[in-house]
Amino acid sequence: MLERLQRVLGLQTIPGVFFTSAGIALLFVILAIPFDQEVAGAFAVLTGWVAHHLGWFYIFSVSSLLVFLLWLAVSRYGSIRLGSDDARPDYSTLTWFTMLFAAGIGTILMFWGVAEPVSHFVKPPFNDVEPGSEQAASDAMTIALYHFGLHTWTIFAMPGLAIAYFSYRHQLPMRISSLFYPILGKRTYGPIGWTVDVIAVLGTLFGVATSLGLGALQLNSGLSYLFGVPTTGWVQVVLIAVITSIAAVSVAFGLDKGVRRLSQINIGLAILLLLTVFVVGPSVFIANGMVESVGSYISALPWLAFWTDTFKASDWQRQWTLFYWAWTITWAPYVGIFIARISRGRTIREFITGVLFAPTAFTLVWFGIFGLSAISVEMDGQIALAEHVQQDPSVAIFAFLEAFPLTQLASLLSVIIIIVFFTTSSDSASLVIDMLTRREDQPSLVRQRIFWAAAQGVIAATMLLAGGLEALQNVITALGLPFCLLLMFMAVSLYRALKADSLGYSVNELVQGRAFDKVNATAGTQQEPKNVQ
């Protein structure tokens, strides 16, 4: 029946993945619009249960994956190339980095670059820290860097590395289900594999929709500041519709013409805004604070990475760390595949080093300039920044810019940057979802990519109308759990394949058991790898 429906609609898909994913998304929208309060309440209850019973699992999983990736980078597996042994990167390092950033967390940095440090500065998560103190300022920067540094990019790097390895090294389809081929074998191409891909599609849809929702909140605040546009749910829905339309046009051009060019333009605009704030802001204070913040982040990372707030009965972890990890995890299939698409030819060591440390370094600079400047503004009492942030975090960056010259121009530039980040997130996600829902031998149809771009916008609008920021947080914290489990299995699957690869065995031999048996038999011995055709 699904294949007949596909022929009638003129689509090129894996029917079980495409129609199941689209059907579940449609069902959510149909239920959430008339029963918005009930749906929001149900996700609030589910999120509370997940946070109370499985919050520790989120914390442990992400930190364990970071340790695993760092070990891979320095191990003998680090020299394995993502492709044939003579393959070379498709993109220059600079272009690769700009695409990583724009499709990764550009929108997130714009939203939280000011809001998070100020929030922790005036309301520290630690009992023995006085709000507004020097220690509160230091802790605020450390926590912000923890949330947006190595851990965030670990969540993106894990699926990205696994996808690139299995696709370019073993010619498996570029889908999440392929990562489990060493475990599932031929069942990867059946209902079990389709279920994995459906989870990945839904995670991507809701994860990107959450970002679009946050972007709409922030755009509404910016337009309200600049032009007096009212701040309402329906204005935000209109903004989502407009930006989704722009993303649909971009996605029609594909990866090279659409996403790459927008990414390069936007990284330039973001750096311009960054340098402007640094030059007109408290430059010496920022420089001193950035150096100190890096040291504080590095020294606090070992204990902070496994901190679960055990001895304090508060909701802080659910509202901040668990939300971030779950949100990033739902993005992981999309960003992972996108990173894999642009990373062919690099070694595993190059991939891990680049994906973990280059964006983290930029994040350190971003929060160093925006976060420290915002804390300085709050400490000097120039404007009631903390009051704005606590009332509505989406207005944070625009309230912050009031403390500097050329406020209107800087705010307008911020709005443009948010729009382009909004667009690159949506169009690159649409490209990835299209890949997840069709076979590699099927053409990528423009109308399918546009459909997924529209679906993200509709889900974002629905969640906003169902409860705004709190609804976005609750839905994502609950939905991130299934893919968190997949990430852990993904690491096991990758390790098994790398172990066999280092001895020259193919992934098919690994599935059949022959390679893994020989890997175990030769563990600790020196053996020349055989050539596998």
The 3-state secondary structure of 331-399 reads HHHHHHHHHHHCCCCCEHHHHHHHHHHHHHHHHHHHHHHHHHHHHHHHHHCCCCHHHHHHHCHHHHHHH
Phi/psi at 505 (5° precision): -95, 150
Average pLDDT on 166-177 reads 89
User: Which pLDDT band, with edges at 50, 70 and 90, does 530 fall under?
Assistant: very low
pLDDT tens digits for range 300-330: 999 999 998 887 767 788 888 988 888 888 8
User: Does pLDDT of 111 surpass 90?
Assistant: no
Cβ atoms within 10 Å of 272's Cβ, excluding its own: 13
User: Which pLDDT band, with edges at 50, 70 and 90, does 527 fall under?
Assistant: very low
Nearest to 308 by CA among 17, 531, 57: 57
369: in domain? yes
11: in domain? no
User: Which pLDDT band, with edges at 50, 70 and 90, does 153 fall under?
Assistant: very high
**If phi over 0 gives left and psi between -120 and 50 gives alpha, with beta otherwise, what is residue 81?**
beta
Phi/psi at 118 (5° precision): -65, -40
Q: What is the chain's alpha carbon radius of gyration, rounded to the nearest angstrom? A: 23
pLDDT tens digits for range 44-80: 788 888 888 888 999 999 999 999 999 999 999 999 9
Residue 306: both structure tokens together: 């496994």
40: in domain? no
36: in domain? no
Phi/psi at 501 (5° precision): -60, -40
267: in domain? yes
* Torsion sign, CA atoms 199, 163, 341, 350: positive
All residues at 6 or more sequence positions from 107 whose CB lies less than 8 Å from its CB, including other chains:
211, 214, 215, 418, 421, 422, 425
Q: Cα–Cα distance between 270 and 191 in angstroms, integer? A: 43
pLDDT tens digits for range 470-493: 766 777 777 788 889 989 999 999
For 320, the domain range is 51-521
35: in domain? no
168: in domain? yes
46: in domain? no
All residues at 6 or more sequence positions from 281 whose CB lies less than 8 Å from its CB, including other chains:
369, 373, 376, 404
Domain tally, the chain: 1
All residues at 6 or more sequence positions from 496 whose CB lies less than 8 Å from its CB, including other chains:
182, 183, 510, 516
At residue 404, the 3 state secondary structure works out as coil
All residues at 6 or more sequence positions from 363 whose CB lies less than 8 Å from its CB, including other chains:
105, 109, 145, 148, 149, 152
**CATH classification of the domain holding 223:** 1.20.1740.10
pLDDT tens digits for range 246-258: 777 776 665 555 5
Are 405 and 198 contacting, i.e. CB atoms less than 8 angstroms apart? no
- pLDDT: which is higher, 312 or 529: 312
